[in-house]
Amino acid sequence: MITGRRWGTMAIALASAACGSTVIFGDLPAEDDGAGGTAGIGGSVSSSTADVAVSTTVDAVSTTTTSTSSAGGGGSMGIPDCVETEPVFEMPGLRPADIIVIIDNSGSMAQEANAVEQNINVNFAQIMAMSGVDYQVIMLTDHGNSSVEVCVGPPLSNTTDCNGVPGDVPNQFHHYDVNVQSFDSLCLALDTLYGANGGGEADEHGLHPDGWSKWLRSDAIKVFIEITDDDINCTWNGNNLSDNGGDPGSPTGNAAQAAIQFDSLLIGQASNQFGTQADRNYQFYSIVGIKEKANPLEPYLPDEPVAGTTQTDDCSTASGPGWGYQWLSKGTRGLRFPVCQFSSYDAVFQAIAAGVVEEVNAACTYSISAPGVVDLATLDVTYNPGQPMGPPEPLTLLPSPAACGASESGYYVANDKIEMCPATCERLREDPTHTIDVSGDCL
């Protein structure tokens, strides 16, 4: 099967792989096991905060080989055939990350706002910078010097006067100055995306008429961090989002439906940034009124149920358990933390930073660095189990993401990349010592 014109094989050791959509809710069961699909809210983050280790080895063919034979893809006398100037298959570098932080400015949020100011530089931005991730923070909240306003100082921003205009740092920190209240975070995120020029709410200084969308990068993973002590109840463009009513743990309840509706509106606004329902490009972390676990610093993981069955089933200083936000986190494989633990936001921001670093490694994606040279019909992608070790398993090329279904051994090719199907990626993520062999024949 393998000819002399085959490109070299790359064996890649993956750890905590990130991948595409994971069905959590919607018109499918609420507590899905991550078996993939083409609907629901997706993304992937490992519950572990371990570093991601990636190693590669390449057995390359000679860069000076010539051929007089047309077999296996052809060539002509004196013209290099399948000359390799770089590996055909390569892992991409760390993906950029656009981190959208939304902070409630209502009167009960003074201690939380102060905790954000005290921790976002040291316990978040510093970790992101040390990781080598190309990141930027986009903050949606009221800027200022009052107890419920937020003023981020250097080095993340260049603000020196909290009573003045927020000081942005290009490609690192941007503050869209807008007042966020108890119930309207999601609607304000939608309304300010394109700003006043898009028919939405302007920032308080009129500096960004095109909204915060102008800072987004299409190749970046989007990460929302929602910080509020209340629930969802707002209207945007005639769409009412409310997480009150019905069973909060059911995918047919108002909480899940509010999350689904926000997801649909967000993707409808900018699918080029946030992805599609088949392949989402964002995660949602919640620092909300969820009740603490026995260890108050331990987050709720994506596969754990929505916490809280009544409005009063929340942490001590909150007004509600934030059911709708919890569903968004579950659906996008984000973590959930109790907002009341503001004295421990150092640990919260560290955990979120570690989760973002894992996500941007995108270890379920393989670039085809020489598109148009490789015969995709000859792709040979093999999964080699780690622990426990098992026989190599060939993976199956599928025609599109929609064909993935619940397949745990499928992949597809899109935009010159080999993409593991969601359930395949989940399976690989659960085997952090596995390797993948990728090879193919030249055209």
Clarify whether residues 266 and 162 are in a common domain.
yes
Q: Do residue 241 and residue 346 come from a single domain? A: yes
Report the alpha-carbon distance of residue 270 to residue 274 in Å, rounded. Answer: 6
Decide which of 309, 338, 360 is a domain's last residue.
Answer: 360
41 domain residue, yes or no = no
Q: Same structural domain for residues 63 and 141?
A: no
Q: How far apart are CA 229 and CA 30, in angstroms?
A: 24
CB atoms within 10 A of CB 240: 12
Residue 32 lies in a domain: no
Burial of residue 183 (number of CB atoms within 10 Å: 0-12, 13-18, 19+): buried
**Are 346 and 386 members of one domain?**
no
Per-residue pLDDT tens over the stretch 118-176: 999 988 988 888 878 889 999 999 999 999 999 999 999 999 899 999 999 999 999 99
pTM of the prediction?
0.71
Please indicate, yes or no, if residue 28 is contained in any of the structural domains: no
On whether the CB atoms of residues 331 and 263 are closer than 8 A, the answer is: yes
Does 49 reside within a domain? no
Q: Which domain holds residue 63?
A: 10-17+55-90+363-442
Flag whether 33 is in a domain: no
| Residue 253 sits in the same domain as residue 340 | yes
404: in domain: yes
Q: Which of 329, 360, 391 is the last residue of a domain?
A: 360
- Total domains, the chain: 2
* pLDDT per position as a tens digit, 238-258: 999 999 888 999 999 999 999
Task: State the 10-residue block means of pLDDT for the chain, 443 residues long.
Answer: 25 31 35 34 32 27 24 29 41 74 95 93 87 90 95 93 94 96 96 96 95 94 95 96 92 94 96 88 94 92 92 89 96 93 90 82 66 73 84 93 91 84 81 77 73
194 and 299 housed in the same domain? yes
The rounded Cα 146 to chain-centroid distance in angstroms is 32
**3-state DSSP call for residue 436?**
strand
Q: DSSP secondary-structure letter at 56?
A: E
Same domain (yes/no): 355, 389: no
- Asked if 77 and 117 sit in the same domain, the reply is no
Is 434 within the bounds of a domain? Answer: yes
In a domain, residue 45? The reply is no
